[in-house]
């Protein structure tokens, strides 16, 4: 992270004194500006440290070590060298940035976490170096803020402090919104607080982390893994709905934080809303469907025996006083004592209505019958629920019998004149 100040590109400053010409030569052989091969630089640095353990250029040497380990892709060694720089100059801006940025690349020991925490906090309070112009410093500060709070979030996570991690990750995203890994970490920090009512926020940040593209996107291997996990969790919580998932991704990409009042309905709430809408639209059908679902479940026979049998239904449940069905068959065909009806308008018989007293006349198939009765029998295969219906007041929709045709009387013959 960052670059060293221009002083590192120059020969030893005048106010510092090399012990001899050999040290000057080792300085040049150790500098990234004059010795491009990091392996040769490391050898020169080790020689310099061995021959000149005490030198006016301890700070520069520690910086050279850090840059050399960076070039050799040895983050642990770079972290150690950067901390050595800070032991000499606690405000050295490059080292503060390196220690902060390397936190997740080194073992999370208590000592390392403490050093990184101190560096991150110092980075947030860093003052502009004289050699840096105001515009450049503003850009650097924005970068420092994002990285420092990201590191503080990681440290809080390691210490099992998810609430503090959430605060830090949020500040990091405020400074730099396009950090997919920070969004992912923020989601996990919220999840770790074990507050089910915040699951919508968790899903939102997972959606953003897995939907950002370009330079802000997750590395390809992580993206595939994380996205599969997110989609599974989303589908479990909300149900599989590609349109809703697409809408969530679009919203999450547009802004780093969910809008005020943002919520994702869980499957239970969705089902409750559907039930409420169905009840409002057709309370009779909704009540029958609820009864039907209970009877068709694996424990349907037990449900009938314990909760349905001998019950007067619908009994005013949900404000419904009568069920409704369409007539399929009558037994016998005239003056029936048994009606078979389709309760959910799918053409399949669902219920049998039995009457002690035969109904007058007959009705056409498809006639809508409304009734209330006592559930007396049930078979699951084929499905059939039987009701005993007693009294004319328990049924509506049965057509009144036609009045018998009037018999015409023959007219009397006129008498003879």
C-alpha span between 117 and 359 (Å, rounded): 87
Q: Write the DSSP string, 110-160.
A: HHHHHHHHHHHHHHHTPPPPTTS-HHHHHHHHHHHHHHHHHHHHHHHHHTT
Indicate whether 260 and 304 sit together in one domain.
no
pLDDT at position 92, please?
94
Residue 219 has φ and ψ, to the nearest 5°, of: -55, 145
Indicate whether 288 and 391 sit together in one domain.
yes
pLDDT at position 278, please?
84
> Which residues are CB-contacts of 282 (< 8 A; sequence separation ≥ 6)?
none
Indicate whether 260 and 287 sit together in one domain.
no
Domain boundary among 264, 291, 306: 264
User: The CATH number of the domain where 387 resides is what?
Assistant: 2.40.50
* Residue 79, domain member (yes or no): no
* Residue 86, domain member (yes or no): no
C-alpha span between 69 and 66 (Å, rounded): 5
* Residue 273, domain member (yes or no): no
Indicate whether 301 and 384 sit together in one domain.
yes
pLDDT at position 413, please?
52
* Residue 238, domain member (yes or no): yes
Indicate whether 392 and 294 sit together in one domain.
yes
Q: Which has the closest alpha carbon to 147: 220, 191, 93?
A: 93
Domain boundary among 236, 264, 292: 264
pLDDT at position 404, please?
61
Indicate whether 203 and 246 sit together in one domain.
yes
pLDDT at position 275, please?
85
- The residue with tokens 């993206």 is 223
Indicate whether 290 and 386 sit together in one domain.
yes
Indicate whether 391 and 288 sit together in one domain.
yes
Domain boundary among 200, 229, 264: 264
Convert the pLDDT of each residue in 320-359 to its tens digit. Answer: 999 999 999 999 999 999 999 999 999 999 999 999 999 9
Domain span holding position 212: 177-264
* Residue 59, domain member (yes or no): no
Give the count of domains, the chain. Answer: 2
pLDDT at position 206, please?
98
pLDDT at position 408, please?
59
Indicate whether 287 and 391 sit together in one domain.
yes
- The residue with tokens 């949020």 is 170
Indicate whether 295 and 195 sit together in one domain.
no
Indicate whether 297 and 389 sit together in one domain.
yes
C-alpha span between 206 and 238 (Å, rounded): 14
pLDDT at position 412, please?
52
* Residue 313, domain member (yes or no): yes
Tokens of 107: 């073992």
pLDDT at position 417, please?
44
- 324 close to 370: Cβ distance less than 8 angstroms: yes
* Residue 101, domain member (yes or no): no
- Residue 69 belongs to what H/E stretch? helix 58-71
* Residue 58, domain member (yes or no): no
Blockwise average pLDDT, block size 10, the chain, 417 residues: 42 74 95 96 97 96 97 97 97 96 97 98 92 88 94 98 98 96 98 97 98 95 96 96 97 97 95 88 92 95 96 90 96 95 94 95 95 96 95 90 62 50
pLDDT at position 343, please?
96
Indicate whether 335 and 390 sit together in one domain.
yes
Residue 388 pairs with which residues in a beta bridge?
Answer: 354, 374
- The residue with tokens 């990750």 is 169
C-alpha span between 231 and 233 (Å, rounded): 6
């Amino acid at each position: 992270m960052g670059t060293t100040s221009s002083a590192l590109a120059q020969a030893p400053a005048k106010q510092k004194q090399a012990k001899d010409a050999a040290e000057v030569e080792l300085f040049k052989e150790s500098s990234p500006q004059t010795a491009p091969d990091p392996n040769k630089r490391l050898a020169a640095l080790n020689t310099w440290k061995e021959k000149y353990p005490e030198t006016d250029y301890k700070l520069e040497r520690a910086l050279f070590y850090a840059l050399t380990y960076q070039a050799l892709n040895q983050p642990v060694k770079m972290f150690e060298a950067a901390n050595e720089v800070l032991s000499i100059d606690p405000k050295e801006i490059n080292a503060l940035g390196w220690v902060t940025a390397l936190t997740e690349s080194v073992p999370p020991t208590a000592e390392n976490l403490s050093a990184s925490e101190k560096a991150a906090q110092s980075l947030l309070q860093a003052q502009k170096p004289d050699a840096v112009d105001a515009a450049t410093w503003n850009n650097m500060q924005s970068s420092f803020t994002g990285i420092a709070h990201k590191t503080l979030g990681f440290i809080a996570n390691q210490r099992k402090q998810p609430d503090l991690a959430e605060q830090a990750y949020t500040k990091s995203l405020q400074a730099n919104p396009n950090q997919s890994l920070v969004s992912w970490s923020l989601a996990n920090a919220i999840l770790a607080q074990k507050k089910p009512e915040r699951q919508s926020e968790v899903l939102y940040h997972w959606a953003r982390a897995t939907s950002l593209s370009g330079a802000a996107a997750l590395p390809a291997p992580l993206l595939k893994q994380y996205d599969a996990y997110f989609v599974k969790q989303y589908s479990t919580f909300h149900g599989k709905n590609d349109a809703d998932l697409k809408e969530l991704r679009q919203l999450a990409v547009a802004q780093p934080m969910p809008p005020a009042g943002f919520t994702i309905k869980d499957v239970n709430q969705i089902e409750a809303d559907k039930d409420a809408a169905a009840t409002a639209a057709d309370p009779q059908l909704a009540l029958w469907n609820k009864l039907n679902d209970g009877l068709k479940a694996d424990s349907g026979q037990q449900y009938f025996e314990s909760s349905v049998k001998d019950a007067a239904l619908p009994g005013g449940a949900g404000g419904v006083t009568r069920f409704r069905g369409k007539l399929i068959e009558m037994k016998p065909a005239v003056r029936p004592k048994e009606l078979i009806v389709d309760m959910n308008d799918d053409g399949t018989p669902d219920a049998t209505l039995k009457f002690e007293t035969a109904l007058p006349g007959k009705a056409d198939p498809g006639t809508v019958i409304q009734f209330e009765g006592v559930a007396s029998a049930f078979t699951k295969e084929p499905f059939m629920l039987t009701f005993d219906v007693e009294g004319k007041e328990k049924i509506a929709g049965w057509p009144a019998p036609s009045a018998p045709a009037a018999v015409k009387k023959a007219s009397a013959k006129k008498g003879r004149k």
